[in-house]
Structure 1
Amino acid sequence: MKINLKKALFMLTGTFLVAFGTYFFLAPNHIAAGGTSGIAIIINAVFPNLPIGLLMMGMEVILFTLGVIIIGPVFGGKTIFCSFFISALILLLEKIYPHIKPFSSDILVQLIFGILICGMGMGIVFNTGASTGGTDIIAKIINKYTKISIGKSVLIADITVTIIATIVLGVNKGLYAILGVILNSTIIDKVIISLNSYKQVSIISNSGKSIQDFIINELERSATIYYAKGAYREDKKEVIITILNRKQLLKLKEYIKKLDNRAFITVNDINEVLGEGFSNTI
């Protein structure tokens, strides 16, 4: 239940960021940086009376059905929650802040802020095993069958939208859209990597048993024990190796500092961990 609640909070945070960035930064400048939001922005630019949120909802139904059939109902359930929540948020924002205008005349700055916010949100959502719907479902399908990273898959799926944006909205807006798609794919990959980064910790200490107990009982992680011989004294050493997230590492460092301030500790960055207790995808 704790894990499900945590994932739900992450999904809510991610979807809010996507809706916020789209409505306040991308839509007012008619920057169609991919996705159903991009398609909706293009249609809205031609037919202003058609609400962006409503257009997005219509497209989501078709692509959601495709996602359920190809990827599965669990992914589909999470995606429909995220996609319709984004559409509903944008509809709500349209009611609260109608006829929103650009914050400034500098489109590039607004593009960067909008894509940064949306990319972070999409990365968070993808990391929960869902998607924000629309062309992101196509990206998830590409990722599943080709193992191309999510960010690059989004780039492949959205490049068509940016080409249409160039034709409908003009070369300048189209070029901004292409830049936005490239930035978006990069940010998504960076966010996913940062959310899944761990630390590999190696510890040599005279209080090895206490440290092992702390890792297992307090941090709820396991560890691997190696035996090595010290080069200076040629004495037998016990090396404890474990993989932790940042929060767990801070707790372990504080504990070891109080227990044995002469302990030898090395820490390495790990970008991906597969197996029991971590990702189940191998």
Structure 2
Amino acid sequence: MKGKIKEYVFITLGMIMVAAGLYFFLMPQKLAVGGANGLAIVINHWIPILSIGAIMIIINIVLFIIGFLIVGTSFGFKTIYASLGTSITISLFERVIPIQQPLVEDIIIQLIFGVFISAIGMGIVFNQNASTGGTDIIAKIINKFFGIELGKGVLISDFIIIIMAGFAFGPELGMYSLLGIILNGVVIDWTIEGISLCKEVNIVSEYSNDIKEYIVNDLERGATIYNAKGAYTGEKKNVVVTVIDRRDFIKLKSYIKGIDKDAFITVSNVYEVLGDGFKNIEE
């Protein structure tokens, strides 16, 4: 239950960031930086009788059905929450903080701020196995079947929207939108990697048993012990290997420093960990 609450707290934070990036920076400049929102802006230009909100709803309903059938119900329910929450948040912004013109005249500044804020939000939502809707769902499907990173999946699925934006609003806005989508994909992957980053720690110490006990009992993490032989001394030693998050790594390093200043430690960054205590391998 606690884990579910944490998931939805992060999803809520992410969808608010997505809504803010879209509403305050991208939408005023008609920057169709992919997604259902970008596609809706383009379609609205050609069929103004349909509102952008109505078009987004139609697009998302179709993609939700695909998401349920292919990715699974868990992804679908969380995505519905994130997508509807994003739309509702944008509607609240429209009522409380109406914008008649862009915040600044410089379209590059609007593009950079809008993409960074919304892409970080999307990365947070993606990391909880959800989506803000739109073509994000297609990116998740591509990731599931082909292992392509989510940011690159978004880039692939949104490319056609850029072509449409170029025809609708001219080549200049089309090129700005293309730049935004490329930046968007990079920031999403960077965000996901940063959130999921863990440390693989290899420890050679005379106090390997104490260190193992600390990892298991105090940090409540697993560890593996290997029997090794020093190439220079020929002495038999134990090597303790564990994968922990950055906060626990700081605690572990402090503990080892307190009991064995001669310990030999190597540390590697791990960007994805699947299994007990980490992300479910089925996600």
TM-score (norm 1): 0.93
What residue in structure 2 maps to residue 167 of structure 1?
Answer: 167
| Matches for 1:11-90 after TM superposition, within 5 Å | 11-43=11-43, 52-90=52-90
CA drift of 1:110 comes to 1.2
2:271 aligns with 271
Inter-partner Cα distance in structure 2 for 1:167 and 1:74: 37
Which stretch shifts more, 11-20 or 231-240? 231-240
Deviations 1:257-280 (A, max 9, x none): 222222221111122223333333
3-state SS in 1 of match to 2:279: coil
Is the 1:53–1:91 contact (alpha carbons within 8 Å) kept by the matching residues of 2?
A: no
The CA RMSD measured in Å over matched residues stands at 2.0
CA deviation string 1:210-251 (max 9, x = no partner):
211110111111111112223443322111111111111011
What residue is the counterpart of 1:136 in the other structure? 136
Letter in 1 for 2:168: V
Distance 1:93 1:50 in 2: 21
Unaligned runs of 5+ residues in structure 1 are: none
Q: Which amino acid counterpart does residue 129 of structure 1 have in structure 2?
A: N
Structure 1 140/231 Cα, relative in aligned 2: closer, same or farther at 3 Å? closer
SS in structure 1 of the partner of residue 240 of structure 2: strand
Q: What SS does structure 1 have at the residue aligned with 2:133? A: coil
Number of matched residues?
Answer: 282
More divergent stretch after superposition (90-99 vs 45-54)? 45-54
CA contact (8 A) 1:30 1:45 kept: no
Look up the equivalent residue of 2:254 and give its one-letter code: E
**Cα distance between partner residues in 2 of 1:191 and 1:200:** 20
**For 1:48 and 1:17, how far apart are their aligned partners in 2?**
28
Q: Distance in 1 between matches of 2:9 and 2:235?
A: 50
Measure, in 2, the Cα distance between the counterparts of 1:235 and 1:241: 19
Cα displacement string for residues 24-44 of structure 1 (whole angstroms, at most 9, x for unaligned residues):
010011100001111233345
Q: Secondary structure at the match of 1:109?
A: helix
For structure 2, the 5+ residue unaligned runs are none
Greater mean deviation of Cα atoms: 35-44 or 261-270: 35-44
Structure 1 position 190 matched with structure 2 position 194 = no
Letter in 2 for 1:147: G
Task: Give per-residue Cα distances to partners, 1:94-126, cap 9 Å, x unaligned.
Answer: 111223421222111210111111111111111
- Corresponding residue SS for 1:98: coil
Cα-to-partner distance string for 1:28-77 (whole Å, 9 max, x where unaligned)? 11100001111233345567786644543343222212211222211110
Partner of 2:254: 254
Correspondence for 1:117: 117
> 1: CA distance between counterparts of 2:248 and 2:92?
39
Aligned counterparts of 1:247 and 1:195: Cα–Cα separation in 2? 12
Measured at CA, do residues 61 and 39 of structure 1 come closer, stay the same or move farther in structure 2, by a change above 3 Å? same
Q: Which amino acid aligns with 1:178?
A: L
Q: Give the C-alpha shift of residue 128 in structure 1.
A: 0.8
